[in-house]
Amino acid sequence: MANHKSAIKKIRSDERKRLRNRYQHKTARTFIRRLTETEDKAEAQVLLKTVHSMIDKLVKKNIIHKNNAAHKKSRLAKFVNRLGAA
């Protein structure tokens, strides 16, 4: 356990940040799942904009890596584009 007052405060703030990051990441994953389960192209395109925005925010806050975000965004865009062809 930490002995210094500043170390104890750091542990508390790190826990708050961890929970906030976890919440944001989990929310984005839920929206991604919602997007991949939709079959309506119009609805999927609206959701895609929201999901792209969420993913960009995760990158900006260093919750996920930028290449991971690029991979997710590319995969989801391909999915949405394939919806009309089916």
53 falls within a domain: yes
What is the structure's pLDDT at 78?
96
Q: Which domain holds residue 74?
A: 41-86
CA 40 to chain centre: 22
82 falls within a domain: yes
60 falls within a domain: yes
29 falls within a domain: no
85 falls within a domain: yes
Classified as helix, coil or strand, 86 is coil
- Spell out the per-residue pLDDT of the chain, length 86, in tens: 778 999 999 999 999 999 999 999 999 999 999 999 999 999 999 999 999 999 999 999 999 999 999 999 999 999 999 987 65
Is 38:44 a contact under the CB 8 Å cutoff?
Answer: yes
* Number of residues written out for the chain: 86
DSSP 23-50: HHHHHHHHHHHHHHH---HHHHHHHHHH
77 falls within a domain: yes
